[in-house]
Structure 1
Amino acid sequence: MDQPPPRSPSVADVALKAGVSKATAARVLGGYGTVSDRVRDAVTAAARALDYRPNELARSMTTGRSGTIGVVVGDIENPFFSLAVRGITDVARQAGFTVILINSGEDVASEKAAVRTLLAKRVDGLIVSPSKESDVEHLQEAARSGRPLALLDRGSEALDVDTVIADDRYAAEGVTRRLLSLGHRRIAYLTACDTPDHLFRTPADINTGSVRRRIEGFLGVCRQEGLKDMERWVHVGAVTPDDTRRIVTAMLQAGERPTAIIASDSVIGLEVFKASRTIGLAIPSDLSLVSFHDADWTSVTSPPVTVVRQPVYQLGETAARLLVERLNGEGAKSRRVILQTEVVERASVAEAPA
């Protein structure tokens, strides 16, 4: 006959071994109340000897806290989000919280399901990078539930919550002015954001706020310099490497090809770099390239790539810090933090070819 699985040690077992009451052991193991150092040491030693593991559900019912923070990002394979999540987890761990991470794939339906799952798991707060800023009712409901919410990298006018973003518009303006000063007039901007017919017409088509601000900055500077109809140089739908390769190949093989490309993230930038090589165009003599996000690969290619270095780790770190402050009862009004970017000049940008 099969033996039943061994029973996990309980608070009562720890109390018995430490020679204290169950209530005292519970205070030490739960981190609340006041006990002497001698008692705390005895209970801690007993818990270690018995390999005691706390019952998180029971503890959350007692304290009203689960000790967890839910995080929803668009694409965890993108180095941008990986680094931002590192910033979040470092701050959360120092504050005594565990992070539960869910990837939305930049799909709003998946994001809604992720938020529902995290709320059902009774997370203490949420950090979300919204995939579609015009569809945030689920985030409004989460905020109304009483759980603190912070937005990462992408804000929303419809949500009065703590928000941490980078100065994307300013960064795009600076990059565009630099390219124009070198004689470039056929400048393409390439993003993974998409439209139903895969054509860009106006920045209002872009639901991701960080990208929309970059495109607005790009187009605004072009208009100031008297360039017309630059909307046709904005390309959307670079969702996968294959999509990006197809779009870039078509652009670079067109009769009027761009002399410079601004990649909206480093994943796209890498595909632009590879596609130009495949076609036989040299960077930067035939094509200048600038990429948002200072990914590791950008500094080791030949030539190394000029990038907009975003404060990615600090974005995650700041969002987590604001959320922890909320959980600790600090802060009354919602806060909007804008972090500065930096253009790192390397060797992928040159004067426009004659």
Structure 2
Amino acid sequence: MNGDGARRRDVTVADVAKAAQVSKAQAARALGNYGAVSEDVRERVLAAAEALSYRPNELARSMNTGKSHTIGVVVGDIENPHFGLATRGITDTAKKAGYNVILVNTDEDRAAEVDAVRVLLDKRVDGLIVAPASSVDTEHLQEVHRSGRPLVFIDRTAGDLQVDTMAVDMARISREATQYLLEAGHRRIAFISTLRTDAHYSTGITLESSQIADRIEGMRQAFLEAGLSFPEDLVKLNAGDADSIRSITREVLRGPDQATAVVASDGLIALSVVEAIQELGLSIPADVSFLMYDDFAWTRLTTPPLTVIAQPVYNMGVAAAKALIRQMEGLPPAAPAQFTATLVRRGSVGPRRIEEDPQQEELAATLS
């Protein structure tokens, strides 16, 4: 059926060749920028292509050349500003190098990640950048690595798989942040994360995310070095959505042995934690101290400004893209990138208020 709504037939190389009055082979070489072709023919072909609004068939080109000039990026939660910023670093760098990016969100689900990797490989991406949903169950990523397909990890590791990884030393910065809270007198420090697990946290439990495992380990080390018992009961995982995050926050801040400080593992969690604290009628930091991972503009606009662990997330994305492009272009690897997170001390951490609790006052005196 003809008409304005009918789909126009795609312009082909043959159409361009006919308009330029050259052979199809000459047109293909001029459009693909390969092989021998005179400057006169090239100009005529490119002019015809522009006049006809010709667009190359990228799938056909990738099948002919083995290159799609496309990078696949797989992350856990694109709604999380952490991954948004990392992806911006990747796309900015890829674009400058002539590569397009296909982004897939997995909602931190391993099965979805397995499917995403398969789909991207089927689309013939030249390489993959992945933030592994699981650092334990990584067979699909091992297969990619064994196949020789360029692969880079960002934000997390995947067990002992030896792949270029752009991430900070989470255990170190977590230990430093926890020491800061301990020095302020806090002993009941809660940690809230969306990481899914079937069991309550206890020391030695296997956690799917290397990032979260390292953060908790850093906290535990700080308590151990201070000669204190680590409050395992305040490690709260499975904070799936805003309602559950607010519920968990209310849980840890109520009761006779409540938390006096809360650490949020990302910016999305932080928003719901702060909201729950306000709903309880509590004040930061007078009633509860608060610290979060990642530094975004809004954290400086709250009252008080929030103490954060700042990560060079954009630069990690840039480095991941550069490392992948080097692999894809057959270049030797660059020196391993080093990234350092920083504890930015603002106004949301204050001293533990102990005057109301003689037992806490006695304990603080003993530990000081």
TM-score normalised by L of structure 1:
0.93
Report the 3-state secondary structure (helix = DSSP H, G, I; strand = E; otherwise coil) of the residue aligned with 1:144.
helix
Are the aligned partners of 1:169 and 1:217 in contact in 2 as well (CA < 8 Å)? Answer: yes
Are the aligned partners of 1:68 and 1:99 in contact in 2 as well (CA < 8 Å)? Answer: yes
The letter for the 2-side match of 1:129 is A
The letter for the 2-side match of 1:119 is L
* 1:266-302 Cα deviation digits (max 9, x unpaired): 1111111111110011001111111001123212111
Distance 1:38 1:299 in 2: 60
More displaced stretch, 296-305 vs 47-56: 296-305
Deviation at 1:19, TM superposition (A): 4.4
* 1:225-258 Cα deviation digits (max 9, x unpaired): 0111432222211121111111111111121111
Percent pairwise identity? 47
Output the aligned Cα RMSD: 1.9
**What are the residue-to-residue correspondences of 1:220-231 with 2, within 5 Å?**
220-231=221-232
* 1:158-177 Cα deviation digits (max 9, x unpaired): 31221111121121111111
**What are the residue-to-residue correspondences of 1:267-306 with 2, within 5 Å?**
267-306=268-307
Residue in structure 1 matched with residue 220 of structure 2 by the alignment: 219
Match of 1:119 among 113, 118, 121: 121
TM-score normalised by L of structure 2:
0.90
The letter for the 2-side match of 1:140 is Q
Cα 1:223–1:125 change in 2 (3 A) is same
Report the 3-state secondary structure (helix = DSSP H, G, I; strand = E; otherwise coil) of the residue aligned with 1:166.
coil
Deviation at 1:322, TM superposition (A): 0.5
Deviation at 1:203, TM superposition (A): 5.3
Distance 1:101 1:110 in 2: 13
Distance 2:148 2:196 in 1: 33
Report the 3-state secondary structure (helix = DSSP H, G, I; strand = E; otherwise coil) of the residue aligned with 1:289.
strand
**What are the residue-to-residue correspondences of 1:28-107 with 2, within 5 Å?**
28-33=30-35, 35=37, 39-107=41-109
Deviation at 1:44, TM superposition (A): 2.7
* 1:73-128 Cα deviation digits (max 9, x unpaired): 10111111111111111111112111111111111111111111111111111111
Cα 1:2–1:18 change in 2 (3 A) is closer
* 1:150-192 Cα deviation digits (max 9, x unpaired): 1111012331221111121121111111111111111111111
The letter for the 2-side match of 1:24 is Q
The letter for the 2-side match of 1:343 is L
Cα 1:269–1:146 change in 2 (3 A) is same
Residue in structure 1 matched with residue 361 of structure 2 by the alignment: none
Residue in structure 2 matched with residue 142 of structure 1 by the alignment: 144
Residue in structure 1 matched with residue 110 of structure 2 by the alignment: 108
How many aligned positions are there? Answer: 352
Deviation at 1:24, TM superposition (A): 3.1
Residue in structure 2 matched with residue 347 of structure 1 by the alignment: 347
